[in-house]
Structure 1
């Protein structure tokens, strides 16, 4: 409470008008003003004659059992609380001097500025600075690099920017009628310059440490702060994150590749198994070939094999919707392709319950992948997209046709 009757909040050790971050506005009532809190929760300021100069809050409660408390909280804001003694409820906030959690000057230490995160205040270091004590906002920040000789003339430094921040004025040099770009270069070329603030065509070079920093959301504080930082610090940081992201991408692609490869191998294994079973069943009814205990074929003489294969002639079954199953020497790829063309992919899986569209997608991808001509095969990236259903799969050519063997 000042001698003029004005109730003012200042940062510790700096009761200077320009550093005030809240005032009651009762600066004309004289040195006998006082702050009062009634039993009904009314907070007000009285003048020297005992009249109310200003009500900070209105009457809140008129019943008994309610306790009120006024205090300056840890974040520098003045708050009025209430508590109902008849139950175990917590203290409730009835009033505070401002809703801006970053309003109190000195909430953050040197070379830090206050920012609101979900309406709660937090502190950040300037670019190129690190906290003195991790997690202690009042300890401030210091450079995370060693300042080199002025003879280098900025060769090992670059400029980082922070927009719309407010600081205590620590100007040692002013450049008038200049541009934003010129202000940045002026600080970079000046070996004594660590920070410069540009606003309305004026460039103010600042001395370190900076204090009372906060992010501002008001348009009248639309300035830009230029901070000189070491190039090595920034470049090392820039290398870390792209490297991590690259490794993550490689791992994801590798997993998808392995998964798709397993799917293709499993499908062909299943198809081959079904083919062998069907062939076994067919031949088990053939009187020319005998089997032992339904497990393996019996050994045959050369004459028997010659008679059963009609002089060892190679037969290639074409297969269709109205033909019988392929002969012994049928080419598996052509049989799969013919089943695909005829729309009878169910022959490949027998009694297995398989989702039809998914089976068709996998068979089409597999037929593309086994083409003899490498240039016709899709890339692994495209295979993944086709298996996921992201892109359409064109109709594959016959894997044994002339075009695929050119």
Structure 2
């Protein structure tokens, strides 16, 4: 990007402002009180003095909307739309600037709506459609009390800016001005960034950025009258995005910057060479390839094309939701139930590859292995929908997949698991060699299964003959290890099983499948030979280098805890610096996955039951077990669900295993997302009430099925969950928290009030967990909670 000096830029701004001021004062047709517009009348719009802009009714489909557009165009160029997501009105509607100073849209059957909707509208004295393209409402002494330039939709014009914290939202299409699929945010860090609408607006979702250095607040996107599009303000040295090549002295030109329906931000020039019309030139485009726009194709589809010709295609085994609207994405007819019921799921599927493929989802497993083993692993894994092979790593993904794209810049090969019945569908046309690959993979899988079966039968006798010998050797080895442990102080009170590192390495297939990673280390799935039982192995990292006696003492304390809502510790391993814990395997993942990632939110009764499960588990840790335990890290990621969907708390009793200062460092990170009590940041003594605070945040997340901090929400008041919940409670609008669900209103109010009491800043105001359970069950009255002070 180029830059220009501040004095020159200031002169440009003064020149632009003087032009705009002159236009407002000398070239405005004043619209007086009592004026009216209607689609059915001859008077459908108010024109600017030059006749280049119009404000009024324009047609969309079979109805009409209110907006601003450029005239003398082959097709109308809509600049701004009022209430763009409202349905179009009929030709019988009217827009009146009433005698009492209101701009009212009157619809059939006497319905009236203010245009615009101002929080505290002052009486309007007059209005004007200016030559700048700005529609303004005047108060006394011609003071501007509202202007369309302050509320852009998808476009800014010369002389207009986009302030920090505001955004442009694309239209659905040139013929449909309602909100589309992309938005351009002027962020408070000084960056102008493009995102898909249905995203969390984080860096992983961004598809274009101005890459402006962090310049603090008050940075604006500005389009001058002479066609310079730049970022300025705050501590930023002016950052030019585009510069018009049209002569600035020619005042028959209009510049506009629009976030188009395809998600690309572009600068346009309208030249009015004659009274008969104008021509439109595209002077700058933020992106040259539509496939760079994340979300241009929907879930389970990918973009394959160059330039401005995007082609959305379905992944193998998928079909378009709507063939006429391919951007909606794709679906597959089959489900994963057959896979889970089958003892040999690999027989049901085949693998279809796609070259040069990439997408932007996170894998649930990353393992180093060969390509053939990578494909086989996906075939046998019912959670796997596709894998990306990067040359030495096999990354497995669940469905649906988003932001898919084929590009020569990608050196990856994607492999998709496809039900054999779906192999009759046409394969992607950009790789004609796929069909023989599918057949080869199918035959190879069948031959492999037969070979394994025959080999197992032929080797059975040999294995049986040497079984006793190896069993004897193994028991002798374990007996010697236990004798050694006795000398280290292992008492008979320890009911945990002592594993060797090699046993756990074998059980997890060399720590192949990672289930997750937390404050204490990574967790891997494994299987122990006794009963073919699934286990979860946590490999502890950054733990204190205490002696074996101290570590065993901690394990003994944890082993003495027995409660249906605590995950059970089965055993441990300690060999030098290697320290591992073995837990029961929780087949239904974490509460975070259920609340924030599941396609359907759990029903209300299930959420109430889970909340009580968690509360009872915390109560046991605080008051009922032999050694009272403060968990210190209650959050949805540490609440796991077994095969009966019973909630169980994990990682209890581990906080003191972290290295010195590691505990507070870790908690400081978590506090940013709102789970830790304020006393963690104040470096004061932490009590069981810290867990009560964390439970309160989790309880509100269970109620609303959303995280404690959410950026992609309709209003700023909803970003912090506790603030939104308190405001809804005080306004008597608790139904907003659960949308249209069939909930018990009394139970909803109880859960909200309990959650608000739990997150009070003063620990003394927070209830005990025993009181929390009584209040949730409805056996204790709950007073009205005060406003929590947020951290």
State the TM bucket, normalised to the shorter chain.
0.5 to 0.7
Alignment length, in residue pairs? 234
> Cα–Cα, structure 1 residues 33 and 236, in superposed 2: closer, same or farther, change >3 Å?
closer
The residue aligned with 1:204 is 395
Distance 1:217 1:235 in 2: 28
How many angstroms does 1:189 deviate by? 2.1
Is it true that 1:186 corresponds to 2:400 in the alignment? no
Determine which of 74, 83, 91 is the counterpart of 2:261. Answer: 74
Distance 1:6 1:32 in 2: 11
Higher relative contact order (CA 8 A, sep 6+): 1
How many angstroms does 1:117 deviate by? 5.2
Distance 1:116 1:226 in 2: 20
Task: Tell me if structure 1 keeps the 8 A contact 2:195–2:205.
Answer: yes
Distance 1:131 1:194 in 2: 17
Q: C-alpha deviations, 1:343-377, integer Å up to 9, x for none?
A: xxxxxxxxxxxxxxxxxxxxxxxxxxxxxxxxxxx
Determine which of 272, 288, 292 is the counterpart of 1:85. Answer: 272
Task: Tell me if structure 1 keeps the 8 A contact 2:290–2:307.
Answer: no
The residue aligned with 1:138 is 327
Is it true that 1:224 corresponds to 2:392 in the alignment? no
Task: Tell me if structure 2 keeps the 8 A contact 1:154–1:191.
Answer: no
The residue aligned with 1:260 is none
Distance 1:236 1:32 in 2: 54
Aligned to 2:347, the other structure's residue is in SS state: coil
Distance 2:256 2:220 in 1: 17
Aligned to 2:311, the other structure's residue is in SS state: strand
The residue aligned with 1:374 is none
Distance 1:171 1:98 in 2: 28
The residue aligned with 2:316 is 127
How many angstroms does 1:52 deviate by? 5.0
Determine which of 367, 385, 396 is the counterpart of 1:175. Answer: 367
Is it true that 1:10 corresponds to 2:195 in the alignment? yes
Task: Tell me if structure 2 keeps the 8 A contact 1:30–1:47.
Answer: no
Distance 2:307 2:224 in 1: 33
Is it true that 1:159 corresponds to 2:346 in the alignment? no
> Cα–Cα, structure 1 residues 60 and 117, in superposed 2: closer, same or farther, change >3 Å?
closer
How many angstroms does 1:216 deviate by? 2.0
Task: Tell me if structure 1 keeps the 8 A contact 2:229–2:240.
Answer: yes
In the alignment, structure 2 segments of 5+ residues that lack a partner are 1-185, 428-791
The residue aligned with 1:107 is 296
Task: Tell me if structure 2 keeps the 8 A contact 1:4–1:31.
Answer: yes
> Cα–Cα, structure 1 residues 59 and 80, in superposed 2: closer, same or farther, change >3 Å?
closer
When normalised by structure 1's length, the TM-score is 0.54
Q: How does 1:26-45 map to 2 (within 5 A)?
A: 26-45=212-231
Q: C-alpha deviations, 1:132-183, integer Å up to 9, x for none?
A: 122223321111445424314221311001112221223122221x112211
Aligned to 2:254, the other structure's residue is in SS state: strand
Q: C-alpha deviations, 1:287-339, integer Å up to 9, x for none?
A: xxxxxxxxxxxxxxxxxxxxxxxxxxxxxxxxxxxxxxxxxxxxxxxxxxxxx
How many angstroms does 1:209 deviate by? 0.4
How many angstroms does 1:235 deviate by? 4.3
Larger Rg: 1
Distance 2:375 2:310 in 1: 29
The residue aligned with 2:243 is 58
Distance 2:320 2:424 in 1: 20
Task: Tell me if structure 1 keeps the 8 A contact 2:348–2:420.
Answer: yes
Task: Tell me if structure 2 keeps the 8 A contact 1:115–1:124.
Answer: yes
How many angstroms does 1:217 deviate by? 2.2
In the alignment, structure 1 segments of 5+ residues that lack a partner are 239-406
Q: C-alpha deviations, 1:269-293, integer Å up to 9, x for none?
A: xxxxxxxxxxxxxxxxxxxxxxxxx
> Cα–Cα, structure 1 residues 119 and 71, in superposed 2: closer, same or farther, change >3 Å?
closer
Aligned to 2:361, the other structure's residue is in SS state: coil
- RMSD between aligned alpha carbons? 2.1
How many angstroms does 1:14 deviate by? 2.3
The residue aligned with 1:361 is none
How many angstroms does 1:119 deviate by? 4.2
How many angstroms does 1:236 deviate by? 6.9
How many angstroms does 1:193 deviate by? 1.7
